[in-house]
Amino acid sequence: MRAALDVGTNSVRLLVAESTAQGLRPVRRAMRIVRLGEGVDAAGRLNAQAVERTLQALEELKNLIPPGVPVAAFATSAVRDAKNGQEFARLVEERLGFPLEILSGEREAELSFAGAVWSLRELKLPEPITVVDVGGGSTEIYTGLGTGELLGGGSSQVGAVRMLERFITAHPLLSSEQLAMEAEIRRLLAPLAERSRALGPRSLVAVGGTATSLAAILQKLAEYSDEKVTGYAFSLEDLGRIYGQLGRLSLEERRQIPALQAGREDVIVCGAAILVQAAELLGFRKLYTSAWDLLYARLALSVDGGC
């Protein structure tokens, strides 16, 4: 049995799993919304309140891990970008007793790609496959094969929290702010999407909290479920429709959506905007979703003797 902790820009996540003949079997999963990346885009630093929220959440998640289980902890965009990211990593090790690896954008994308394609292998998706990972601080787009082999891709500094802080001041969204956000997303993602299109992808998979939340909302789930969103497919038209509907709701109205996890009500529209633009730029009319991303891949590789 092994555990992995993902310290993201908007949330921290735990996966505890054991290895079986069929692959990894999840034993425990948990998530806390902490908004660690609050203010990082403007200030370039993690603020003290966000750091303390995150450390407390990590302590809660650590208490859910069975004694003696090895832990692999890693951080992504917010910690990677912050000038005091290394200082935060030292605090994590001091308070929790295990090191925090700060992933590069490329490594984050590689792991997200591997987790996604492994989780959907039974669907036998046409290859090459492009995986889009919309995060709080960055978006990764990688193209490769069902075996996990990468053909190319990269990371762009466009994330749901980053776009929220740069453009959005009101909910429902103001038309002028929404249009400005969409234009900036398209500008930032276009070079990365163009490189992926050159590789001739035939399937598109979306991972991350935005994609899985949207998949749950589209299915009108009474409560969020990793199993029900993994392998779920929806059209670009469906995605655009739900994006438009969410943008017209107040924060309180979004909080009433059963499948939307508390703490995502403000960033979900920005994440949806990124996913819409990514799918359009990549030329896809249909997307699959998976809840198995870098957490799953990190544990799978550690079991296999990889990273």
Q: Which residue has the tokens 């490594």?
A: 107
The β-bridge relationship of strands 23-33 and 71-75 is: unpaired
pLDDT on residue 260:
96
**Amino acid identity of 41?**
D
pLDDT in tens, the chain (307 residues): 999 999 999 999 999 999 887 777 889 999 999 999 999 999 999 999 999 999 999 999 999 999 999 999 999 999 999 999 999 999 999 999 999 999 998 888 889 899 999 899 999 999 999 999 999 999 999 999 998 889 999 899 999 999 999 999 999 999 999 999 999 999 999 999 999 999 999 999 999 999 999 999 999 999 999 999 999 999 999 999 999 999 999 999 999 999 999 899 999 999 999 999 999 999 999 999 999 888 888 888 765 544 4
Find the radius of gyration of the CA atoms of the chain: 18
Q: Give me 139's structure tokens.
A: 């978006």
Q: What angle do CA 12, 18, 23 make, to 5 degrees?
A: 105
Chain mean position to CA 288: 14
Provide the 8-state DSSP code for 124. -
- For 116-137, the pLDDT digits (tens) are 998 999 999 999 999 999 999 9
Closest among 132, 142, 120, 118 to 303, alpha carbons compared: 118
Give the domains, in start order, of the chain with CATH numbers: 2-103 (3.30.420.40), 106-294 (3.30.420.150)
> Hey, CA dihedral for 97, 98, 104, 110, is it positive or negative?
negative
**How many CB atoms neighbour CB 145 within 10 A?**
13
pLDDT on residue 303:
58
**Phi first, then psi: what are they for 261, rounded to 5°?**
-65, 140
pLDDT on residue 80:
94
Q: Write the CA distances from 167 to 133, 136, 159, 171, 183, integer angstroms.
A: 21, 14, 12, 12, 11
Contacts of 86-91 with CB under 8 Å at 24 or more apart are 88/46, 88/51, 88/54, 91/51, 91/55
Q: Write the CA distances from 92 to 36, 75, 96, 194, 230, integer angstroms.
A: 13, 11, 6, 38, 31
pLDDT on residue 20:
80
Q: How many CA atoms lie within 13 A of 29 on its CB side?
A: 12
As a whole number of angstroms, the distance between CA 100 and CA 98 comes to 7
As a whole number of angstroms, the distance between CA 85 and CA 44 comes to 10
pLDDT on residue 305:
46
